[in-house]
Amino acid sequence: MNVDFKERRTRVGFITLALVAMFAMVVIRLVLLVEFDGARLNSLAKSEHTSETELAAVRGPIVDRNGEPLALSAETRSVYARPPRVLDSTSPAERAKLAAALGMSTSDLAAKLAKPAPFVWLVRRTSVARAQAAEALGIDGVGALSEYKRFYPESNLAAAVVGLAGMDGQGLSGLELEYDKLIRGEPVELTFYHDALGHPILDTPLELKTPEPGAQLELTIDSSIQSLAETELAAEVKQSGANHGAAIVLDPFTGEVLAMANVSADPSGVHDRLHNSAVQDAFEPGSTMKGILGSIALADGTMDLTRQIYCEEGHWTIDRRTIHDDSKHGWLDLGGIIEVSSNIGAAKIALGLGAERFYQGLHAFGIGFRTGIDLPGEASGLIMKPSTWREIDLANHGFGQGVAVTPIQLAVAYAAIANGGLVVRPYVVKAAYDAQGNVILRHTPQVMRRAIPPDIAHEMNLLLRNVVNGPNGTAHRAKVPGFIVAGKTGTAQMVNPAGGYYQNRHVCSFVGFLPADDPRLLILVVLYDVGHGHFGGLYAAPVFSEIASGTVRDLDITAPDSSYDVASLIPLPGRGAATSSIDDAPPDQADQIPAMTGDHSPAVPNFAAMSLRRALEVAHRAGVTLEVSGAGYVVAQDPPAGSPLSHADIKLKLAPVLAAASAPDASRGGLLSGGGM
């Protein structure tokens, strides 16, 4: 073997080893890339060579309680282009025809086609005719897809409640936002592939995923009542010079919101879809607080119907502050204090009650806490901890100063007085249905807690009638022909953000229910930022009357058989007014009055198949207190009917098992329990 051969073999060996080493390094590098960096690189490659865009699915309709549509989706067409293909396949003249068909300028079209993107929208949600005209030109790289545009067939009716959906099909406010996941459906996803320069690879088609339509929402809102509330409120906002107003119509037993109106004096914001004053704005309630205060004091036992309070002839100084009444008053009982709306009388009741007990009572009514209504952005109002209250704060809270509530919060609190003492959760969506009509959500009335006993609620019901019908009542303009109305006026100065109160800017309100003997409607009217002298009884009460009068006609509500003379006012001392005979049972309810056992002692009534409203009436007449669970109609009670009546609570169990047609009082719904002036 010669030297040259050995050298060549050595060189070949070194080269072979080098190649093997290089190959090993490549393999190791490949393994490292796959094992440790593969996911990132795969994602990067995908993002560089694929593009996606999303089309909104068909949003589900929103309808009122009678099926009248409040929000619908209409089919439109969206025209897209693939700029490289359009520019390569068309002349300037052809692009000018495309711009004309789409109703846009040639410069705007040129700007869109000049974007360094493989896919651009030329127009979104245009008319079908315009899209067809663009497609008819036959330009390579131009196409159209169906999209859906939200519109509101009743224009701005219940605008703040229904809310607004954006261009991308996402809810922005109101129910459109609160139930967005249900009603927006499954969006349509578009995916296409391109090379590093943005050119489509193998002319990949747009891949459409089958869209799933959104759910239909059925509301508790009644369009005719909503329209009436908005019309009457708008007229009063204009006449009174208010900045804006809110009105709520509520079923006090179920919590169903029949109408929620928000009106602004600003023409551009008359029906603001982005802000709902009825749930998002807080105000000092003024004298409407007195009905709640009186209920708490009666339940606590610090006040009764006969106790007299000296009202200082209209001026009373406490803690170097002077509390004023609108007119001079001497000795008044609770009924008189509420009827004439004495601030001094209310302040003394609050002081007698004490900060801690007053606070606990307000808490029970839900004052200063969210109601849980199914609308976004609900405010909680404002109530400070009782440990921070000074004596003057406690006195002021008695007539609604220094405490802030929302309209829906105040309405729910007075609904508790109307329904026998129960705080119910308000709601505006009754049910939701999928595209096949299957129920996917159903709301039933829910009792949150008991604020006051039924007998206290009944006593306050009678006292609040004096505000409307009494000789010195502050709300004579709230009367509704043929019906007894119970309610309370309120007027409060607006808080100045710089400190203190505005002297000539007020919030006036009236909250009431009817028929007072069998409440079916709770109506609240609030007017914001009105001038001095614009009392709730003069400006808010007439709006209540008009809304109530129209609503009882729409719902065909009739007044109870008992007349005003026999079931109206609690007489104030020395007035000689007729005493109430509300405890006298009508003939058709004789079977519901407690029976007499053999030893002439009263027996437990039979509550079988009763709704909450009926059960509360019977319990009041029997002088018993109920402990309720379940929802629907009474299916069980303990102790059983006919047992000797004791002072212990009667336990009722309710369930939605009775057919509405055969259930007593079915048309009115039943108990559902669960989860100034």
Kindly report the CATH number assigned to the domain that includes residue 601: 3.30.10.20
> Per the domain annotation, does 47 fall within a domain?
no
- Number of domains, the chain: 4
- Whether the bond between 639 and the residue before it is cis, its omega within 30 degrees of 0, is yes
- Please tell me whether residues 629 and 485 are part of one structural domain: no
- Whether the bond between 515 and the residue before it is cis, its omega within 30 degrees of 0, is yes
Residue 567 confidence (pLDDT): 34
Considering 173, 240, 287, 568, which one is annotated as catalytic? 287
- Angstrom distances, CA of residue 77 to CA of 102, 109, 140, 550: 11, 17, 18, 43
Q: Which residues contact 565 (CB under 8 A, 6 or more apart)?
A: 578
> Per the domain annotation, does 608 fall within a domain?
yes
Give the other-Cβ count within 10 Å of 73's Cβ: 22
Question: Phi-psi region for residue 125, left (φ > 0), alpha (ψ -120 to 50) or beta?
Answer: left
Distance CA(77)–CA(87), nearest Å, equals: 23
Torsion, Cα of 344, 345, 348, 350 (10° steps)? -110
**Of 560, 584, 608, which residue constitutes the final position of a domain?**
584
Q: Is 223 a catalytic residue?
A: no
CATH number at residue 436: 3.40.710.10
Give the other-Cβ count within 10 Å of 500's Cβ: 9
- Please tell me whether residues 260 and 280 are part of one structural domain: yes
- Please tell me whether residues 29 and 95 are part of one structural domain: no
> Per the domain annotation, does 225 fall within a domain?
no
Residue 564 confidence (pLDDT): 38
Instruction: Express each pLDDT in 394-430 by its tens digit.
Output: 999 999 999 999 999 999 999 999 999 999 999 999 9
Q: Which of 211, 197, 52, 187 is nearest to 119 (CA)?
A: 52
- Please tell me whether residues 195 and 304 are part of one structural domain: no
Q: Which residues sit opposite 489 in a β-bridge?
A: 510
- Please tell me whether residues 7 and 59 are part of one structural domain: no
| DSSP of 247-295 | EEEE-TTT-BEEEEEEEESSGGGTT-TT--HHHH--B--GGGHHHHHHH
Q: Which of 539, 544, 486, 490 is nearest to 515 (CA)?
A: 486
- Please tell me whether residues 185 and 248 are part of one structural domain: no
- Please tell me whether residues 467 and 513 are part of one structural domain: yes
- Please tell me whether residues 376 and 238 are part of one structural domain: yes
Q: Which residues sit opposite 248 in a β-bridge?
A: 260, 524
> Per the domain annotation, does 304 fall within a domain?
yes
- Please tell me whether residues 534 and 624 are part of one structural domain: no
Contact 167, 55 (CB under 8 A): no
Domain containing 8 equals 3-36
Distance CA(360)–CA(397), nearest Å, equals: 13
Q: Which residues sit opposite 322 in a β-bridge?
A: 317
- Please tell me whether residues 329 and 339 are part of one structural domain: yes
Residue 191 confidence (pLDDT): 61
Q: Which of 501, 521, 502 is nearest to 512 (CA)?
A: 521
Please identify which residue in the block is written with the tokens 């006026």: 489
> Per the domain annotation, does 321 fall within a domain?
yes
> Per the domain annotation, does 41 fall within a domain?
no
Q: Which of 110, 98, 375 is nearest to 257 (CA)?
A: 375
> Per the domain annotation, does 439 fall within a domain?
yes
Q: Is-above-0.75 flag for pTM? A: no
- Please tell me whether residues 89 and 31 are part of one structural domain: no
Q: What is the mean pLDDT of each run of 10 residues along the chain (677 residues)?
A: 72 82 82 71 61 70 95 86 88 90 90 86 86 88 82 91 86 94 77 55 48 90 96 93 95 96 77 89 95 96 94 91 92 96 96 96 96 96 94 95 96 96 96 93 93 95 96 94 96 86 91 95 96 84 96 90 40 34 32 38 78 74 77 80 79 61 35 38
Residue 188 confidence (pLDDT): 62
By the 10 Å C-beta count (0-12 exposed, 13-18 middle, 19+ buried), 292 is classed as buried
Contact 248, 408 (CB under 8 A): yes
- Angstrom distances, CA of residue 252 to CA of 255, 293, 417, 430, 527: 6, 19, 9, 16, 22
Distance CA(344)–CA(348), nearest Å, equals: 6
Contact 633, 667 (CB under 8 A): no
Q: Which residues sit opposite 524 in a β-bridge?
A: 248, 511
> Per the domain annotation, does 224 fall within a domain?
no
**Of 568, 584, 600, which residue constitutes the final position of a domain?**
584
**Of 562, 584, 606, which residue constitutes the final position of a domain?**
584
Residue 10 confidence (pLDDT): 79
- Please tell me whether residues 477 and 335 are part of one structural domain: yes
CATH number at residue 124: 3.90.1310.10
